[in-house]
Amino acid sequence: MTGQKITIEYNDRIVRQFMLAAILWSVVAMLAGVFIASQLNFWQLNFQTSWLTFSRLRPLHTNAAIFAFVGNMMFAGIYYSTQRLAKARLASDFLSWLHFWGWQLIIVAAAITLPLGLTRGKEYAELIWPIDIAVATIWVVFAVNFFWTLARRHEKSLYVALWFYIATIITVAMLYIVNHLSVPTSLLHSYPVFGGVQDALVQWWYGHNAVAFFLTTPILGLMYYFLPKAAERPVYSYRLSVIHFWSLVFVYIWAGPHHLLNTALPNWLQLLGMTFSLMLWAPSWGGMLNGLLTLRGAWGRLRTDPVIKFFAAGVTFYGMATFEGPLLAIKSVNAVGHYTDWIIGHVHGGTLGWNGFMAAGMFYWLAPRLWNKPLYSSSLANLHFWIGLVGILLYVSAMWASGIAQGLMLSATTEGGTLLTYPNFLDTLNSIRPLMAMRIAGGALYLTGFGLLTYNLWRTIRGARPVNGRIEIYVEPPDADGKFGLGATFFNAPVIFSALGFVMACVWMFASGWLNILGLFGAILCVLLAVTHYQARAHHWGEWYDRLLLNTLPFTVLTFLAVAAGGLIQIIPMLTIDRRLQTEDRIAPLYTPLELAGRDIYVREGCYVCHSQMIRTLVPDVMRYGDYSRLGESIWDYPFQWGSKRTGPDLAREGGKYPNVWHYRHFEDPRAISPGSNMPAFPWLFKNDTGLGALPTKIRVQRLLGVPFPAWTPGMIDVLAKEQARQISTDLRTAGVYVSPDKEVVALIAYIQKLGKSDPAALPAAAK
Amino acid sequence: MNPPSSPSPDAQPEETKLRSHVYDGIQEYDHRLPNWWLFTMYGAIVFAVVYWFAHQVARLAPSDGEQVDAAMAQIQSAKMASSIDVNNDPGFWQMSRNPVFIEAGRATFNSTCASCHTAALTGAIGPNLVDRLWIHGGTPKEIYKTVSDGVPAKGMPAWGPVLGAKKVAETVAYILSYHKESEPIEVQVSWAPPGPAAK
């Protein structure tokens, strides 16, 4: 050793903070989950209170689970492992501090705004724009802190865990920023810059990859650090890490459209969503294999060590969820499973089974090391494991049975296939009620497990003195040989073959005629050449990759290119094409001012949480709800409200189906109209006045976004809105209901009655 | 740092070697990728290529929308066929816009009626059926009656007893598919087949 010996003290304080925050928020998120699951069974549990209503609390539950629980847990694990893998203290104590308190402040802001109905109306992207900016800023703080630490590292080579962290940081930034692009209409409200199908595509590009790059890649990174540490075994296969990392980050992005199968989304995107989801199966299982096979030789400790138990079960759940995902992405399976509880079961297998168990394992492993005191009770941790496992199994099996049962009932026909067996949606809902109750029990057991964890760790920590890790290292002089320039990054066999193969495959997929043939043969040729070259010069590939691992920036750039490709190919064509060419054969008339106000109430109340507005190209959907939805019918929708779950029926063609008074009574007391419904009552809609004052700004912003509203003056907008409200109020009066035209329920009825009204599409020549 | 305690017996010797680099005490084997895993990956890629080719390039299957439209027409036709009312003119017009009905009617017409009326319905031995001129009445229920009961005096057989109500209704729907509900009906006294010169 030539260098100078120095001692590094890690910043483990920030790890402790994030870990404790994660435990606190885990209990909050799961408590919210159990509460809203109970509301689905007992509608009375909103206590006639707006901010306790399911549709407002469900976003709170999902955001808390994803960003508060898994977020804080991820930051704790990443900060702990990165310092050790880089052999460097976190670059800035201030940035770490800012990251922690900034993130907690965001969570508190979310917990206040979401129940108040302040929302953007897009799943996992509900937070209003000022909070969005804060999230993006704090994420950049995290990124700077992380990459700055890497820049100061003493361990030159990047371990596989760090690859996953890098992919997480850059991809989440990209997804979050693009999907949150909005134009504010006030301090608390904004419209997304994309509308209709564009918004749908961007949303699920984000939504799917939030699962991928917020709930999967960081946890895989944590697995690669904490699992071999806890098992005290070497990682099973380095080359499997390489292959599954790159294939995972490249393929994942493309699979977003599988959330929109059988909808009005153009078919080529549906095909990509389905086929890439199937291709994602192997890369995902690569991670599971590397985790499980690393445990070979440590299986004996499964009996005694709760940490190993949690990790083994967590990785197994990961394998289960990533098998179920591709299965659900097959169009015909999706036809049954989509919009049902099966999807709910699927995501909980991921978050509770995979993320939750990995988190628990990590906390039980970390706490004794961060406070230098043995775990208070190993048997209590074992009890947590068994209670949690029974809980999650109960949960997912209830949801499987419930989802498949309801899916089959909804598509069951009779009389030679000419009639629906269960024309009343409520028949299907009420047949799964016992399973929905079983879900509460499963969730409550899982929550109890985390209660045990909280108690166990509190007893461990109490009275213990926090300790920070230290390491003594020899600083070696910087080595200029390994540095990559542009040339070394891009001009080498693996990158050139991948890029060329990708271009050729795109030519094959999107060109026609002889170019199509050229693309196919070009792609095949690229693969053959790459294989031949690899067989002849394998050590070159290996050496290049070893050297790449010494270079953070080139590694990050290549990762970014791999994750950006899918989004570019799918989204750019949809954004650049004149939207009016894509209306199919129908186009929705513009919203009247009152309908727009009503629509914003619909978004505020979170109706999309339980009601879709998308009749799929499936016979049972068309038989139940009417002709399948066309793109032009949601073209003016900012944000789109196609929905992802049908706890209630689809509303795409609800307009005109029932008289105004039907809706009035239904909002007042759903069971008065639909016996057996589990929809809560919305009494505040009858008390609050519609905020017509905001309409001129809202309409101005929509004009800016390309909605061809006439150049109304604020006065005209007011007159138009009031006139329509007066008509509805008069109509209600003839039906025996007295309501002031100013009330929100009137605006909402105006919007509901507009749903599904459309004109034959004007030809493009007339459109632009 | 913990050296491997018991290398598994089935692994290849060069694979049980650990990579030289150690990260914070974590070591890595370099086992080869399991074959079944590789086949899963290759299989999915091949499937993706074939599936894309079948649906996007060759378009072997009709689009989702077309498939639903066809299925709904089938359901609609089954409903109408089970409740044929020979006196219901709007019902006939509805049938005449249903592709399943039209197709079935076309088949019956071509095998049974085209010999006299031609496959183009323009008439030869029997009268033209696509113009607005009708001898025995041009409303759907009148056409149905003509086909079903025939006009024996003029050589038009009674098809009702032979074909049954459903096939006759389909045939009428097929004829009506050449017409519009709103078009005027003009009365024609008799039909003279066009001579060779007129063609």
Q: Which residues contact A71 (CB under 8 A, 6 or more apart)?
A: A22, A103, A214
Q: Does A511 touch chain B (CB under 8 A)?
A: no
Q: Report pLDDT for B80.
A: 83
Mean pLDDT of A505-525: 90
Q: Which residues contact A718 (CB under 8 A, 6 or more apart)?
A: A593, A692, A695
CB A218 within 8 A of CB A164: yes
How many CA atoms lie within 13 Å of A132's alpha carbon, on the beta-carbon side? Answer: 26
| Residue contact B55–A243, C-beta within 8 A | no
Q: Does A221 touch chain B (CB under 8 A)?
A: no
Segments of chain B scoring below 70 in pLDDT: 1-15, 195-199
Q: Report pLDDT for A310.
A: 97
Q: Which of A659, A660, A670, A661 is nearest to A611 (CA)?
A: A670
Q: Report pLDDT for A550.
A: 92
Does domain A8-468 sit in CATH 2.40.40.20?
no
Q: Report pLDDT for A764.
A: 46
Q: Distance (Å, rounded) from C-alpha B19 to C-alpha B13?
A: 13
Mean pLDDT of A701-723: 96
Q: Does B31 touch chain A (CB under 8 A)?
A: yes
pLDDT at A767 over 80: no
Q: Report pLDDT for B7.
A: 45
Cα→Cα distances A215→A72, A350, B126, Å: 12, 8, 75
Which residue is listed with tokens 């027409």? B73
Element (H, E) at B187: strand B186-187
Write out chain A residues lying below 8 Å of B12, CB-based: none
Cα→Cα distances A470→A15, A87, A225, B127, Å: 14, 10, 18, 103
Residues of chain A above pLDDT 90, percent: 89
Q: Which of A27, A126, A110 is nearest to A73 (CA)?
A: A27
| Residue contact B2–A159, C-beta within 8 A | no
Calculate ∠ Cα B145-B148-B149, nearest 5°.
75
Amino acid in position A560: F
* Range in A66-75, A132-141, B7-16 with the lowest mean pLDDT: B7-16
Say which DSSP state B196 is in. Answer: T
pLDDT at A768 over 50: no
Say which DSSP state A432 is in. Answer: T
CB count in 10 Å sphere of residue A465: 8
How many CA atoms lie within 13 Å of A698's alpha carbon, on the beta-carbon side? Answer: 24
Tell me the pLDDT band of A766, cut-offs 50, 70 and 90: very low
Q: Report pLDDT for A1.
A: 47
pLDDT digits (tens, 9 = 90+) for A435-464: 999 999 999 999 999 999 999 999 999 999
Q: Does B12 touch chain A (CB under 8 A)?
A: no
Q: Choose the closest CB to A271 out of B33, B56, B82.
A: B56
Q: Does B5 touch chain A (CB under 8 A)?
A: yes
Q: Report pLDDT for A16.
A: 98
Domain B71-187: which topology?
Cytochrome Bc1 Complex; Chain D, domain 2 (1.10.760)
Give the residue from A509, A512, A534, A548 with the most B CB atoms within 10 Å of its CB, the best one to mutate.
Answer: A509
CB A270 within 8 A of CB A316: no
* Phi and psi torsions of A343, nearest 5°: -65, -40
Q: Does B178 touch chain A (CB under 8 A)?
A: no
Tell me the pLDDT band of A311, cut-offs 50, 70 and 90: very high
CB count in 10 Å sphere of residue A172: 23
Size of interface A-B (CB pairs under 8 A): 121
CB count in 10 Å sphere of residue A759: 11
| Residue contact A271–B25, C-beta within 8 A | no
Instruction: Retrieve residue B182's tokens.
Output: 């709103």
Q: Measured between CA atoms, how close is A253 to chain B, in angstroms?
A: 16
* Phi and psi torsions of A586, nearest 5°: -135, 150
β-strand partners of A419: A414
| Residue contact A275–B29, C-beta within 8 A | no
Q: Distance (Å, rounded) from C-alpha A539 to C-alpha A545?
A: 10
Chain A residue whose CA is closest to B37: A282
* Range in A55-59, A135-139, A310-314, B176-180 with the lowest mean pLDDT: B176-180
- For A626-639, b where at least 16 C-beta lie within 10 A, e where not — what string? ebbbbbbbbbbbbb
Q: Choose the closest CB to A234 out of B4, B68, B78.
A: B4
Q: Look at A576 and A237; give whichever has higher pLDDT.
A: A237
Q: Is the dihedral of CA A182, A185, A191, A193 positive or negative?
A: negative
* Average pLDDT across chain A, whole number: 94
Q: Look at A649 and A539; give whichever has higher pLDDT.
A: A649
| Residue contact B75–A235, C-beta within 8 A | no
Tell me the pLDDT band of A393, cut-offs 50, 70 and 90: very high
Q: Distance (Å, rounded) from C-alpha B83 to C-alpha B102?
A: 17
CB A350 within 8 A of CB A211: yes
Residue spans per domain, chain A: 8-468, 587-767
Q: Does B37 touch chain A (CB under 8 A)?
A: yes
Q: Is the dihedral of CA A334, A339, A340, A343 positive or negative?
A: positive
Which residue is listed with tokens 């404790």? A20
The architecture CATH gives domain A587-767: Orthogonal Bundle (1.10)
Secondary structure of residue A190 in the 3-state scheme: strand
Say which DSSP state A130 is in. Answer: H
Q: Does B23 touch chain A (CB under 8 A)?
A: yes
Say which DSSP state A480 is in. Answer: S
Q: Does A120 touch chain B (CB under 8 A)?
A: no
Q: Measured between CA atoms, how close is B7 to chain A, in angstroms?
A: 8
Tell me the pLDDT band of A378, cut-offs 50, 70 and 90: very high
| Residue contact A619–B72, C-beta within 8 A | yes
| Residue contact A618–B33, C-beta within 8 A | no
Cα→Cα distances A686→A48, A63, A683, A749, Å: 12, 29, 6, 12
Cα→Cα distances A218→A18, A534, A557, A613, Å: 15, 30, 18, 34
Write out chain A residues lying below 8 Å of B44, CB-based: 275, 278-279, 281-282
CB A429 within 8 A of CB A647: yes
ipTM, 2 decimals? Answer: 0.90
| Residue contact B27–A235, C-beta within 8 A | yes
pLDDT digits (tens, 9 = 90+) for A153-182: 999 999 999 999 999 999 999 999 999 999
Chain A residue whose CA is closest to B46: A279
Give the residue from B26, B36, B46, B83 with the most A CB atoms within 10 Å of its CB, the best one to mutate.
Answer: B26
Our measurement of the distance from residue A705's CA atom to the centroid of its chain's CA atoms, rounded to an integer in Å, reads 25
Q: Report pLDDT for A322.
A: 96
Which residue is listed with tokens 């504010």? A184
Q: Measured between CA atoms, how close is A236 to chain B, in angstroms?
A: 5
Tell me the pLDDT band of A379, cut-offs 50, 70 and 90: very high
Q: Report pLDDT for B196.
A: 55
| Residue contact A282–B37, C-beta within 8 A | yes
Q: Look at A594 and B115; give whichever has higher pLDDT.
A: A594
Q: Does A297 touch chain B (CB under 8 A)?
A: yes
Q: Is the dihedral of CA A683, A684, A687, A692 positive or negative?
A: negative
Q: Report pLDDT for B152.
A: 86
Mean pLDDT of A203-227: 96
Q: Report pLDDT for A480.
A: 62
Q: Choose the closest CB to B23 out of A155, A417, A619.
A: A155
Which residues, numbered 72 to 91 in chain B, qualify as contacts with chain A under a Cβ-Cβ cut-off of 8 Å?
72, 75, 78-79, 82
Chain B residue whose CA is closest to A88: B24
Q: Distance (Å, rounded) from C-alpha B182 to C-alpha B193?
A: 27
